[in-house]
Amino acid sequence: MKKTILTLFTGLLVFSAYAQIRSTTIAKPISQNLLVNVKQRNIEAEQQAFGKRSNSEEAWFYENANYGGRKFVLERGSYTLKELGTDLNDFLSSAVVPSNLIVVVYTNDNFDGDWYILTPENNNNLNFEKTVVAKANVGNRLISGKADINDIISSIIIYNPDQDYIDFNSFGESNNIYTNLNQFDKDKCYRAFPGPGLSGVDGHNMADIGPLNDKITYIRLNNYQMSVQIHQDAGFKGYQGLLKKEVRDYPLFAKPTDLQVLGYISMTDCGTITSSIGMDRAWKNRVSSFKVNIGPGRLTEIYK
């Protein structure tokens, strides 16, 4: 009996010692250098790394000022909380912005609330508490210069002004279908981009600039990332429709020039926000406001 008890006791001691050794082996010590790098990166080294990046169509955002904390690479595109993730809501504190992109940040989800256009000079974005913005709309008042946008960003638009836009014009009859790009470019046309629009609000309110209200006849989307939401009334109200370049089901869509001819796109084709459409009416000379959209971008978190 004593021999059995002694054997069990010895076994327990061996198991206990093994467990202690095993737990020590599993638990990996945290590198202090890694913690330092995450808390605050070397500013000059980070800017040099940004200059050597392989993809020129991206901006870098950080959790803390001076490129500290978690690091996020945002490629060209739009980001609501669905793309950012709810844990990034009111979270970002610094950024590196390239000169070839326009970066617009919003205080609310879905590109709502106050908005700020970040300047491409990297040193101006080291600390969002004292960042320099190229242009902003705060409480429906346009401003520029220094602003505090720390931990208030909920949605973002990043676009290339040389590639992401729509062209539209206000001339011609509905039966005048252009068949080549040169014919369209020879005539006077206007250009609009995603994000804040011509009137300083989020979108393009044609009634605010008079001559173009109810005068748009043709719309051309420059690439497959773009779409445009058109409205019959000012202030983005009334009948609405969504035009996409990849959708080819609109009547008399001019494929050679990728023009969408509003005289032949009916309100029933585009949809409506009212309970009843009523009689079918063409969109030609009926657009009073519109919003230009760019497709969702891709976010990557960098763990170093």
Domain covering 166-294 assigned CATH 3.40.50.1820 in the classification: no
pLDDT at residue 293 tops 80? yes
Q: What is the dihedral of CA 209, 211, 216, 221, to 10 degrees?
A: -40
E-state strands within 65-130: 68-75, 77-79, 94-96, 102-108, 112-118
The domains spanning 36-160 and 166-294 adopt the same CATH topology: yes
pLDDT at residue 237 tops 70? yes
- 116-173 residue pLDDT tens: 999 998 889 999 999 999 999 999 888 999 999 999 999 999 999 999 988 777 654 4
| Banded model confidence at residue 201, pLDDT cuts 50, 70, 90 | low
The DSSP secondary-structure symbol of 76 reads: S
So what's the pLDDT on residue 188? 55
- Summary mean pLDDT of the chain: 75
Burial (CB count <10 Å: 0-12, 13-18, 19+), residue 71: buried
Domain covering 36-160 assigned CATH 3.40.50.720 in the classification: no
121-132: string of b/e by CB count within 10 Å (b at 16+)? ebebbbebeebe
Q: What residue spans define the domains of the chain?
A: 36-160, 166-294
Report helix, strand or coil for 207: helix
